[in-house]
Amino acid sequence: MSAWKQLLFSLVILAAAVAAWANFFPGARDILAARNLDWLVVVEKQTADGPAGSGQGGGQGRQGGSQPANVVTMPATLATINDRLQAIGTGRARASVTVTPYASGRLMEIRVQSGADVKAGDVIARLDAEGEEIALDRARIARDDAAAKLERIKALQSSNAATAVQVGDAETVLRNAELALRDADLALARRSVVAPIDGIVGILPVETGNYVTTQTTVATIDDRSTIIVDFWVPERYATAVKVGASLTASLVARPSGVFDGTVSAVDNRLDEQSRTLRVQAGIANPDDSLRAGMSFQVTMKFPGDTYPAVSPLAIQWGTDGAFVWVVREGKAKRTPVRIVQRNTENVLVDAPIGEGDMVVTEGVQNVREGSDVLVAGQPRVEAVNGVQTAAGGT
């Protein structure tokens, strides 16, 4: 074959490929129009339909000429966007106390073990208290002596042998003795280390016989009846998170366990560096399965806006972005859309689409703007002398 024949054959093949692409590829018309090449579509259409009066193309041409395009449609629905917040937080006990003695001394007795459940006021340790016991006995004797003197002076006053001033002085001595007795009793009581809250005792860092001061940790007690989870949320959720809002939390180390919780506190300002808001949530821990320091993945859901929802198959792309074909009165209308959220079963879009509008999901390659379409399963509608009549369906 000569070179010019090969060149001519190649040009014919290339022209046919370009024409096929221009008529079958969605958005090809827009691409060609942007480059002033939309005449390619007209040439291909004339070739496919045949010359005027030839009698070819009407019934034998491809769908999209005089024949309506066969399509499958699905009605658009309304759906609410799922606005979900997920954050990682750290759990801590509802209350945690480090217990230290009121006074210095030697530990004579430790009454609890690690992991023990204690109540507020329970004695967990005792210091040496011989000196405080002696001081208490001395104060009690002084109080009794002052009380006896007051009684004698009052007896003398009844016989005018004592004055009112002497009685007043004796009463003052008695009150001072009572205060000294209370002081000695308090000093003795503070030789006992008591639990300030209900909770679980942690590992004891001291042993019997150790000398402790007011800075020495004798025990730590955690109230784990409720676990408080601290987490940070982005700025966009700052107005959505409210005290009392429900949430779910799962352990990062054991995702299968899911716990229900409630927002217990929201900070009054955002962190300027991270632009996040600190939030606290409470999770009930009746079986004591949670511990302070555990990491949680917190999930919160918020009601979002309502948008039209269409099938993922309906979404097409052109030079100007995404669009769908909406069937109205038997004709296809190209409707631009903005994708808001992709779900498994549908796509939420921002577009002038109403609930129940029929959107093309199959056969989109045969659809053109304003062209007639025949929806599968519905009778064909033909216009005869301006009156629409139903013809047999396909």
> Measuring CA to CA, which residue among 225, 220, 242, 224 is closest to residue 233?
242
- Asked if residue 371 has pLDDT above 80, the reply is yes
Average of per-residue pLDDT across 179-202: 95
Q: What is the rounded distance in angstroms from the CA atom of residue 177 to the CA atom of residue 332? A: 103
CATH of the domain at 312: 2.40.420.20
pLDDT in tens, 212-238: 999 999 999 999 999 999 999 999 888
89 & 225 share domain: yes
Last residue of a domain, one of 166, 183, 212: 212
b/e burial code for range 183-222 (CB count within 10 A of at least 16 → b): ebeebbebbbbebebebbbbebebeeeeebeeeeebbbbb
Distances (CA, A) of 391 to 17, 65, 306, 363, 367: 36, 18, 39, 21, 20
300 & 310 share domain: no
Q: What is the pLDDT of residue 308?
A: 94
Q: Where are the alpha helices (DSSP H) in the chain?
A: 3-24, 28-34, 39-49, 130-158, 164-189
386 & 368 share domain: yes
DSSP helix/strand/coil, 376? coil
116 & 198 share domain: yes
Cβ atoms of residues 221 and 201 within 8 Å: yes
- CB within 8 A of 204, min separation 6: which ones? 110, 112, 113, 114, 218, 219
Q: What is the pLDDT of residue 51?
A: 43
- Asked if residue 15 has pLDDT above 80, the reply is no
Could you tell me the residue range of the domain that residue 230 belongs to? 85-93+219-304
171 & 225 share domain: no
Q: What is the pLDDT of residue 58?
A: 40
Last residue of a domain, one of 279, 304, 329: 304
Give the count of beta carbons closer than 10 Å to the beta carbon of residue 343: 12
User: Would residue 54 count as lying in a domain?
Assistant: no
Last residue of a domain, one of 167, 193, 212: 212
User: Would residue 55 count as lying in a domain?
Assistant: no
For the chain, what is the domain count?
4
**Using 50, 70 and 90 to split pLDDT, how confident is the model at 202?**
very high
pLDDT in tens, 309-348: 999 999 999 888 999 999 998 899 999 999 988 888 899 9
**β-strand 321-328 against 331-336: which pairing, if any?**
antiparallel
Q: How is residue 370 written in tokens?
A: 């304003």
pLDDT in tens, 120-157: 999 999 999 999 999 999 999 999 999 999 999 988 88
With a pLDDT cut of 70, the percent of the chain lying above it is 83
Q: What is the pLDDT of residue 50?
A: 44
User: Would residue 59 count as lying in a domain?
Assistant: no
Q: How is residue 295 written in tokens?
A: 């990491």
**Using 50, 70 and 90 to split pLDDT, how confident is the model at 53?**
very low
Output DSSP code: residue 262. Answer: E
351 & 267 share domain: no
User: Would residue 144 count as lying in a domain?
Assistant: yes
With a pLDDT cut of 90, the percent of the chain lying above it is 59
144 & 227 share domain: no
Distance of CA 91 to the CA centre of its chain: 15
pLDDT in tens, 79-127: 887 678 899 999 999 999 999 999 999 999 999 999 999 999 999 999 9
Distance of CA 381 to the CA centre of its chain: 52
User: Would residue 139 count as lying in a domain?
Assistant: yes
295 & 369 share domain: no
109 & 194 share domain: yes
| DSSP-assigned beta bridge partners for residue 290 | none
Lowest mean pLDDT among 167-171, 242-246, 380-384: 380-384
Mean pLDDT of the chain: 85
Lowest mean pLDDT among 23-37, 65-79, 159-173, 232-246: 23-37
**β-strand 69-75 against 373-375: which pairing, if any?**
parallel
**Can you tell me which residue has the tokens 């509802």?**
94
356 & 288 share domain: no
Q: What is the pLDDT of residue 56?
A: 40
pLDDT in tens, 57-79: 444 444 444 578 889 999 999 98
Q: How is residue 150 written in tokens?
A: 């007051």
316 & 299 share domain: no
Q: What is the pLDDT of residue 33?
A: 59
**Using 50, 70 and 90 to split pLDDT, how confident is the model at 27?**
low
Lowest mean pLDDT among 48-62, 125-139, 204-218, 243-257: 48-62
Q: How is residue 284 written in tokens?
A: 């009930």
The 123-127 sheet, strands edge to edge: 192-194, 123-127, 105-110, 211-212
Q: How is residue 252 written in tokens?
A: 């990062």
300 & 159 share domain: no
Q: What is the pLDDT of residue 68?
A: 84
- Residue 106 corresponds to which amino acid? R
Pairwise pLDDT comparison (185 vs 393), residue with the higher score = 185
- Residue 196 corresponds to which amino acid? P
> Measuring CA to CA, which residue among 63, 68, 37 is closest to residue 49?
63
User: Would residue 23 count as lying in a domain?
Assistant: yes
Q: What angle do CA 330, 333, 334 make, to 5 degrees?
A: 155
User: Would residue 204 count as lying in a domain?
Assistant: yes
- Residue 148 corresponds to which amino acid? A
Q: What is the pLDDT of residue 22?
A: 67
Give the count of beta carbons closer than 10 Å to the beta carbon of residue 329: 8
- CB within 8 A of 305, min separation 6: which ones? 80, 81
Q: How is residue 305 written in tokens?
A: 């806006």
User: Would residue 267 count as lying in a domain?
Assistant: yes
Q: What is the pLDDT of residue 257?
A: 84
Write the secondary structure of 172-207 as one string of H (helix), E (strand) and C (coil): HHHHHHHHHHHHHHHHHHCCEEECCCCEEECCCCCC
CATH of the domain at 226: 2.40.30.170
The predicted model scores a pTM of 0.58
Q: What is the pLDDT of residue 173?
A: 95
Q: What is the pLDDT of residue 297?
A: 95
- Asked if residue 55 has pLDDT above 50, the reply is no
Q: What is the pLDDT of residue 32?
A: 64
Pairwise pLDDT comparison (24 vs 74), residue with the higher score = 74
